[in-house]
A and B are shown apart, each in its own frame.
Chain A
Amino acid sequence: MNRIVRDDGFHPDDLEHGEFLTLERLEAGVEAPVLLQLEPDADPSDLPRHFAWISGIRIHFPNFTDGRGFSLAARLRQLGYGGRLGAFGHLIADQYSQARRSGFDEVVINELMAARQPESQWLAKSGWRQRSYQAHILRSA
């Protein structure tokens, strides 16, 4: 079973049985709110016209060293996406703060990762708001 990690710890994955569409499928047209799954090479520039139909997006991290997902999330927020945004695939607890600061609401991890890096290790990163140089610069300006 997957776990969703948020600032207050682990939660069961309420979207475990949800049907995630690919970008191509979405662009073919939909008639009800959908969940969307994006690969890190997705081009989101046309996505805003679909925002009303999207109830959640998850961005795939094929490997924790592949940082494209962070920029993709930031770009989605920049485009005005205000809905639920999750990261899934290979992420480690040490990336939780970066994920949150890039615009993700939550990180989805599998059972093996949840066992190897238990809740306490993720909760240790929940103070991500406190130490952001980027926020500090905005405050000082």
Chain B
Amino acid sequence: MYRYSEFDDAFVRARVAEFRDQVNRRINGSLTEEEFKPLRLKNGLYLQLHAYMLRVAIPYGTLDSRQMHQLAHIAEVWDKGYGHFTTRQNIQFNWPKLADVPDMLEALADVSMHAIQTSGNCIRNVTADHFAGAADDEIEDPRPTAELLRQWSTDHPEFQYLPRKFKIAVSGSPNDRAVTRAHDIGIRAVRGKGDETGYEILVGGGLGRTPMIGKVIRSFLPKDDLLPYMEAILRVYNLSGRRDNKYKARIKILVHETGLDELKDQIETEFTARRRVFPGVNQRLLESLNAHFAPPEFVDAESSEYELRRTRDPLFRTWCDTNLNRHRDPNLAIVTISLKPVAGTPGDATADQMRTIADLAKSFAHDEIRVSHEQNIILPHVPKAFLPRIHDRLKRSGLATANIGLISDIIACPGMDYCALATARSIPIAQEISQRFDELRLERKIGPLKIKISGCINACGHHHVGHIGILGLDRAGVENYQITLGGDATETAAIGKRPGPGFSAEELIPALERLLDAYLTIRLSGNETFLQCYRRLGDQPFKTALYPDSARKAA
């Protein structure tokens, strides 16, 4: 875990004081509403449909029990007793009052947390693989790099008023769990010729109304060059990105309109000049950052209790089969705690649930917690012997849903329930899907399947990269749900394709049932996943299932 230096602590506290002052200056008229807006956004305060929302950064998704306890406390004191974990490893509080926000920020600073740059047209909080430091396929832990980027991007004087928001994700493994290809910049640890590690840099990925997969702009960047190279990309973007149309302002459009090669030349020229004044400084710094993320000391624990419980308790066994991932140490497991109970709100956790998770992490799991972009919570270092006790405790708190990677493990944006931009509901659709397939008892039979739902074209629910994506639109005042098929968020990233017209809210669930029935019929075996089946057969059989009545297609 990264421990704040005196500098970090002084910085976040000064920032809270500054924001308190900005709120007062808004009230006394020194700042206009227009001027206040980007200032509050940079501090995580967003205006939603019904109220303000405070989005708190969980840098690269890592936190400890003390921080989780504080989030629970904030949820109880200043919100309605719960929080919402998001697809960008943030937590959102949906009901704060403007006057309370400086106190909330103060409470965050008390546990080395903040809400800086979680919104607005700046470099957003950096995300990383939620299995960092635990996964068995890792080239290196991506968090020291992500922390370096957090520091570098925080209040960077040049990049606070960019054409549009800017998202960076870091992955340390060949298996991409950080969706690096759908970010403005994706950074992937790679091995060079002499076995030294460096970065592959991707640029111009993004979802939204013009989804694009990021392109490789540097296949191997030495680690020392990371910051000057980032500055070169950001400077070219800041100066040349479009400011005339907010839907064309992301860097992906600049890449598209300028052409990758031309843009690459501009960036390389800027990089050469930049490196002269701002030399590679991060190697030594990275080493000192590495020390913060040194793995905890794992002790060999007796795991017979775990084996025994597996044979005796089918519920436990099912949960283990879906919610555990392999840890690099065979005595440990990575536990994913599902925040997707049947018919619940994806990503929501009550204050009590947060405390349960915090206590479990503290007692049994080296005091580390992660938030995944799939809106679940992870205990990355769990000795297997403790799994039965953890499962028992999770069951009592409604946190033992065994559905990771399955049809009810849905990513859904807030949609019409909270978001001012929404054109349709998103959360209730997720709830209906999980309920229906639970009734049908088909979840396990269907196997690995990622459904992702967005409540408008901005695509915060990542629907483009869902195996099945659902996009809620408004057609003359009526909700209409478009389906996309074949999307993929991993290292084999792909944008899903639309097989045909959308469905009304009532037609949607039956359409999904037909679609998945067809899949169960045509798959080669129980081992062929939906995505593999789709890739093998193309969309024709799925189209037929979705639109059996071609007359309706014509309408």
Q: Which residues of A contact B529 (CB under 8 A)?
A: none
Q: Is the pair A116, B29 in contact by a Cβ cutoff of 8 Å?
A: yes
Question: Which residues 19-66 in A have Cβ within 8 Å of B in the complex?
Answer: 40-41, 64-66
Q: Is the pair A97, B157 in contact by a Cβ cutoff of 8 Å?
A: yes
The distance from the CB of B210 to the nearest CB of chain A, in whole angstroms, is: 22
Q: Which residues of A contact B227 (CB under 8 A)?
A: 137
Q: Is the pair B282, A141 in contact by a Cβ cutoff of 8 Å?
A: yes
Q: B236: nearest residue on chain A (CB-CB)?
A: A71
Contact code string B274-318 (vs A, CB < 8 Å = 1, else 0): 101100011011001000000000000000000000000000000
| B38 on the A face (CB < 8 A) | yes
Cα-based distance from A99 to B155 in the complex (angstroms): 12
The distance from the CB of A85 to the nearest CB of chain B, in whole angstroms, is: 14
Q: Which residues of B contact A6 (CB under 8 A)?
A: none
Contact code string B238-274 (vs A, CB < 8 Å = 1, else 0): 1100010000000000000000000000000000011
| B2 on the A face (CB < 8 A) | no
Q: Is the pair B239, A138 in contact by a Cβ cutoff of 8 Å?
A: no
Q: Is the pair B288, A140 in contact by a Cβ cutoff of 8 Å?
A: yes
| A17 on the B face (CB < 8 A) | no
The distance from the CB of B122 to the nearest CB of chain A, in whole angstroms, is: 9
Residue in A41, A67, A74, A99 with the greatest tally of chain B CB atoms within 10 Å: A67
Q: Is the pair A70, B29 in contact by a Cβ cutoff of 8 Å?
A: no
Q: A65-B38, A138-B281, A141-B284 are in contact. Are A131 and B238 (CB under 8 A)?
A: no
Cα-based distance from A66 to B282 in the complex (angstroms): 30
Q: Is the pair B11, A65 in contact by a Cβ cutoff of 8 Å?
A: no
Q: Is the pair A133, B11 in contact by a Cβ cutoff of 8 Å?
A: yes
Main secondary structure of the interface of A (DSSP, over half): helix
| Size bracket of the A interface | 35 or more
| A124 on the B face (CB < 8 A) | yes
Q: Which residues of A contact B38 (CB under 8 A)?
A: 65
| B160 on the A face (CB < 8 A) | yes
Q: B156: nearest residue on chain A (CB-CB)?
A: A134
Q: A43: nearest residue on chain B (CB-CB)?
A: B239
Q: Is the pair A141, B157 in contact by a Cβ cutoff of 8 Å?
A: no
Cα-based distance from A140 to B288 in the complex (angstroms): 9
The distance from the CB of B254 to the nearest CB of chain A, in whole angstroms, is: 13
Q: Which residues of A contact B273 (CB under 8 A)?
A: 78-79
Q: Which residues of A contact B274 (CB under 8 A)?
A: 78
Q: Which residues of A contact B148 (CB under 8 A)?
A: 137
The distance from the CB of A28 to the nearest CB of chain B, in whole angstroms, is: 24
The distance from the CB of A99 to the nearest CB of chain B, in whole angstroms, is: 8
Contact code string A71-106 (vs B, CB < 8 Å = 1, else 0): 110110011000000000000111101111110000
20 additional A-B residue pairs with CB within 8 Å, beyond A75-B239, A138-B281: A40-B239, A41-B239, A65-B38, A66-B161, A67-B160, A71-B158, A78-B277, A79-B273, A97-B155, A97-B157, A98-B155, A98-B158, A99-B157, A116-B30, A117-B30, A131-B155, A133-B152, A134-B152, A137-B227, A140-B284
**Which positions in B face A, CB cutoff 8 Å?**
7, 10-11, 14, 18, 21-22, 25, 29-31, 35, 38-39, 121, 148, 151-152, 154-162, 227, 235, 238-239, 243, 273-274, 276-277, 281-282, 284-285, 288
A selection of 25 A-B contacts at a CB cut-off of 8 Å is A64-B161, A65-B121, A65-B161, A66-B161, A67-B121, A67-B238, A68-B238, A68-B239, A68-B243, A70-B158, A72-B239, A78-B276, A94-B18, A94-B22, A101-B157, A121-B30, A124-B21, A131-B10, A131-B14, A131-B155, A133-B151, A134-B156, A134-B157, A137-B227, A141-B281
**Which positions in A face B, CB cutoff 8 Å?**
40-41, 64-68, 70-72, 74-75, 78-79, 92-95, 97-102, 116-117, 121, 124, 131-134, 136-138, 140-141
